[in-house]
Amino acid sequence: MSQDNATSAQSNGDALENLLHEGRQFPPSDEFAANAVAKPSVYDEAASEGTEFWARQARELLSWEQDFTQTLDWSEAPFAKWFIGGKVNAAYNALDRHVEAGNGSRVAINFEGEPGDVRRITYAELTDQVKQAANTIESLGVKKGDRVAIYLPMIPEAVISMLACARIGAVHSVVFGGFSSDALRNRIDDAEAKLVITADGTYRRGKPSPLKNAVDDALADGNSTVEHVLVVKRNEETVEWTEGRDLWWDKTVATASKDHTAVGHDSEHPLYVLYTSGTTGKPKGILHTTGGYLTQCAYTHKNVFDLKPETDVYWCAADIGWVTGHSYITYGPLLNGASIVMYEGTPDTPHQGRWWEIVEKYKVSILYAAPTAIRTMMKWGEDIPAKYNLSSLRVLGSVGEPINPEAWMWYRRVIGSDATPIVDTWWQTETGAIMISPLPGVTAAKPGAAQVPLPGINVDVVDESGESVPNGSGGYLVVREPWPAMLRGIWGDPERYKETYWSRFKDMYFAGDGAKRDEDGDIWLLGRVDDVMNISGHRLSTTEIESALVSHPSVAESAVVGATDETTGQAVVAFVILRGEAAEKVAAQGEDADTSEVVAELRNHVGKEIGPIAKPRQILVVSELPKTRSGKIMRRLLKDVAENREVGDVSTLADSSVMNQITQGLKK
Ligand code: WT7
């Protein structure tokens, strides 16, 4: 992390300073507290039990085929092993055992398609379907340890595919359906996937939208490790077909045998790889394994959301392509036997009340969503949710980025009848499960703060030298002790794992976030301190987008910053120096050059290289970029421009007139 970025995080921190004097507190009602899953005593229990706290959770929350003999092996730190010697099957725990316990007729998934089609799948049915998928995947030659790429829309087959892989010990790698064919191919290559599971398409904003074509493009050169493509029929549009490679789900899985016995896999057997953006151009394959991950998913889902599986209806509005969808659509809820809602589409199709219509229809009692969605709904106006009966809601969750106090208050007042606890949950793809969050029946919540590390989690805020900061000060968020769901590494790159997370501070995991402790010792997250941006709760790296831009023949150089955005938290703003014909054309037009054409082309180019979410909100054509004497781009100054601020200190620039040129140029 550079000093430059640290400084810019600090200035964000200053802007947030006033939040830290937030006086409002919202304790749970007496009734909520009395009936809550998690009681105040849990913090003391975890503190006195140490890692045995997690051993107890592992045994209480999961059914082990073979019990473990050791809780934690940290002798090869930072490579952790949890619940050593144990054997456990993720799919058996999420499915079969609920059926065996007599809960087979409970609804596992309430699926709501964007066009309004519905599917209600019970635990018994879901178990059968996962067994069929497991048989099919095995018949395609996929063995324990092989990788399977899952590139699906938000349909039940996404959950079924993940659990089918987990059942046979194949490692799934879900790729967000909004990613481009290039991004998909990079991930397939890095994971060396043998099988891709996809769909003909999905529905987006009322229209069929294709998906399989991206798989065809990704595999067009015939040179990948992929042997088969399994295709779910979703939107009935015609697709290209490669004989011998492609298979229809409904001709294979749907007719496969429903007999499949789950065997326990080693506690440290890889469960999945999920790619996420880091500070360099190449996404990292975050590796999660079985026993520890499942334990912390189940524990946090039950305690943070106060889950009562017999009566609650739980809806996590994330996409399965992100870690939130892994831990809190698939694993956590199904391990706990919850009834979930799964929605395929966008929140404004066919109207802006769609979410609240779904809450009313399914009597959703727990809703887990991102601040960017809440802010969008705020913008649409509170008369929209007011048309629906939201009285079933009793816990609201927030995830993905800091939630600003206005959005928090709106969420509670308008959606939560001014009464529901809100849990602001901080975690990451790497942490696997929630790390910092209020407990809804215990914590007096403060609007905008994740506040307290969960029981059994040792989080701290430290200064540059790794010392804990006193209350009332800011620094860097670290984790001091290994935790069950922690990443076990970066796929194929153990060195990068050590370097990225364990080299900044000795013996501590560095999360990449800035944080402060308020006067009560509560933790406030202040955003990333590295080159990672957070757009609508999705991670993108500045370098990843810069690489995409310079791969275009019209771009000589580029610098990307995340600028504060009212709705999406941050938005991508790119500065580019043109070259070749495009540069000549703009230069020939002189001072008032019209750059709209090249800008539109570059936006589309980024969309094609990475995916629509990465398209810059703004691309500014400039003639120079601000650099230090050592040649490092000073993004802090560009951020000032992107956020319409007075440009900060330029004294370390190699050429201090560059910022003048940029601001003058942009004013025209
Ligand atoms: C980054 C991780 C965790 C699943 C979704 C994102 C930011 C996440 C919060 C929160 C403030 C948050 C952090 C973190 N973040 N939750 N409640 N308050 N910031 O997972 O893509 O791995 O991103 O999201 O900056 O480092 P991810």
The number of beta carbons lying within 10 Å of the beta carbon of residue 644 is 8
pLDDT of residue 651: 80
Query: Which residue minimizes the CA distance to atom 27 of ligand 1?
Result: 428
Torsions phi, psi for 360 (to 5 deg): -65, -45
Q: Which atom of ligand 1 is nearest to the CA of 512?
A: 26
Residue-wise DSSP of 147-167: EEEEE--SSHHHHHHHHHHHH
Would you say the pTM of this structure is higher than 0.85?
Answer: yes
pLDDT of residue 500: 94
Cα of 192 to ligand 1 centre, how many Å?
A: 28
Letter string b/e over residues 281-318, b meaning 16 or more CB atoms within 10 A of that residue's CB: ebbbbbbbbbbbbbbbbbbbbbbbbbbbeeebbbbbbb
Is the CB of residue 323 below 6 angstroms from any atom belonging to ligand 1? Answer: yes
Is the CB of residue 324 below 6 angstroms from any atom belonging to ligand 1? Answer: yes
Given ligand 1 and candidates 399, 501, 530, 536, which is best to mutate, with the most ligand atoms within 8 Å of its CB? 399
pLDDT of residue 15: 47
> Which tokens in the block code for residue 183?
């991004």
Ranges of residues in the chain with a pLDDT under 70 are 1-22, 281, 668
Given ligand 1 and candidates 301, 510, 525, which is best to mutate, with the most ligand atoms within 8 Å of its CB? 525
Question: Pairing relation of β-strands 339-343 and 422-425?
Answer: unpaired
Is the CB of residue 426 below 6 angstroms from any atom belonging to ligand 1? Answer: yes
Is the CB of residue 429 below 6 angstroms from any atom belonging to ligand 1? Answer: yes
pLDDT of residue 20: 56
The number of beta carbons lying within 10 Å of the beta carbon of residue 472 is 12
Is the CB of residue 425 below 6 angstroms from any atom belonging to ligand 1? Answer: yes
Helix, coil or strand: residue 527: strand
Query: Which residue minimizes the CA distance to atom 2 of ligand 1?
Result: 428
Sign for the pseudo-dihedral over CA of 3, 4, 8, 11: positive
Q: Which atom of ligand 1 is nearest to the CA of 323?
A: 4
Cα of 429 to ligand 1 centre, how many Å?
A: 8
pLDDT of residue 4: 43
Cα of 276 to ligand 1 centre, how many Å?
A: 12
Point out which residues pair with 46 in neighbouring strands.
none
pLDDT of residue 544: 86
pLDDT of residue 593: 86
According to DSSP, residue 653 is labeled B
Report CA 212 to chain centroid distance, whole Å: 23
Is the CB of residue 452 below 6 angstroms from any atom belonging to ligand 1? Answer: no
Asked if 652 and 632 touch (Cβ cutoff 8 Å), the reply is: no
Cα of 148 to ligand 1 centre, how many Å?
A: 26
pLDDT in tens, 550-599: 999 999 889 999 999 999 999 999 999 999 899 999 989 887 888 999 99
Query: Which residue minimizes the CA distance to atom 6 of ligand 1?
Result: 400
Asked if 487 and 497 touch (Cβ cutoff 8 Å), the reply is: yes
Minimal CA–CA distance to 177: which of 157, 206, 194?
Answer: 157
Element (H, E) at 599: helix 596-609
